[in-house]
Amino acid sequence: MLTKRIIPCLDIKNGRTVKGVNFVDLRDAGDPVELAKQYALKGADELVFLDISATLEGRKTMHDMVLKVAEHVNIPFTVGGGISSIEDVDALLKCGADKISINSSAVKRPELVNELANKFGSQCVVVAIDAKNVDGNWIVHLAGGTIPTKLNLFDWAKEVEQRGAGEILFTSMDNDGTKDGFANDALAKLSQELNIPIIASGGAGTIQHFVDTFKKGKADAALAASVFHFGEIPISELKEALKENNIAVRL
């Protein structure tokens, strides 16, 4: 049976992990390769690296990082942040990234999704969508939730699926950082209306939140950052608990 995936997300700036990472057995918590290797050992199913570098210089270091991760890590990983062209994607895939994720560049120019799917295949095209519930309507936002668009989450998700996205990474800006659980109603609706995998993001605080997002939210994968980085939820413990709740996981 296909299992539900647990995905730690690492923010990268100028080739280094940011957000304090608290792993006792790490020599260098700022080294994305060290951290990625640890996560692979501890049972993470995939990894996401999000480049938050603001400069061109910073972006260039991302290619070196991707190359090193591909060299040393034996599980799949996605790279996102600042990707807006076929050339950007080509370079990252050539460095060994398995999937790339696009967000605002797809909103600005939706044809990009078609172009990437046609050139590289849907399997490597993840479309990340950040949305907020505004008076009962889920509205897509850009720039970390600061800029609202006119797009409705569900319409936009269906559009990118038709354009060739292989997967949706949905972050609820209302839930992100709250540690109060994932946006399961919206996630369940996405899963019902779309036929591609959905990654839940934003709101992980407890093991029960993961159980709920797989059961109530029908998510195919769940992504989180701080609960993993600070060791609040060890991945092995999380997966054991999911199994006890009859959720298929890789152990």
- Residues of the shown chain interacting with another protein in the complex, contacts defined by CB under 8 A: 1-5, 40, 45-46, 67, 70-72, 74-76, 93-98, 118, 120-124, 166-167, 195-197, 220-221, 250
- Which among 11, 45, 51, 220 is annotated as catalytic? 11
Does the active-site annotation cover 130?
Answer: yes
Q: What is the dihedral of CA 185, 217, 228, 10, to 10 degrees?
A: -80
Tokens of residue 85, six digits: 């062209």
Q: 128: alpha, beta or left, given left = phi > 0 and alpha = psi -120 to 50?
A: beta
Helix (H, G, I), strand (E, B) or coil at 192: helix
Which one from 45, 51, 130, 174 is the annotated catalytic residue?
130
Cβ nearer to another protein, comparing 73 with 139 = 73
174 secondary structure, DSSP code: T
Question: Could you write out the three-class secondary structure of 65-120?
Answer: HHHHHHHHCCCCEEEECCCCCHHHHHHHHHCCCCEEEECHHHHHCCHHHHHHHHHH
Q: What is the closest distance, in whole angstroms, from the C-beta atom of residue 110 to another protein in the complex?
A: 20
- The Cα 160–Cα 37 span in angstroms is 32
**How far apart are CB 148 and another protein at their closest, in Å?**
29
Asked about 11 being catalytic, the answer comes back as yes
Considering only CA atoms, which of 7, 19, 17 is closest in space to residue 61?
17
Q: Which is nearer to another protein, 52 or 70 (CB)?
A: 70
197 vs 234, beta carbon nearer another protein:
197
CB of 128 to another protein, least distance (A): 15
Taking the complex as a whole, how short is the minimal distance between the CB of residue 195 and another protein, in angstroms?
5
Residue 11 vs 161, nearer CB to another protein? 161
Query: Cβ distance 196 to 171 under 8 Å?
Result: no
- Enumerate residues 6+ apart whose C-beta is below 8 A from 40: 47, 73, 74, 75
In the bound state with another protein, the residue whose beta carbon lies nearer, of 112 and 173, is 112
> What residues are annotated to the active site?
11, 130
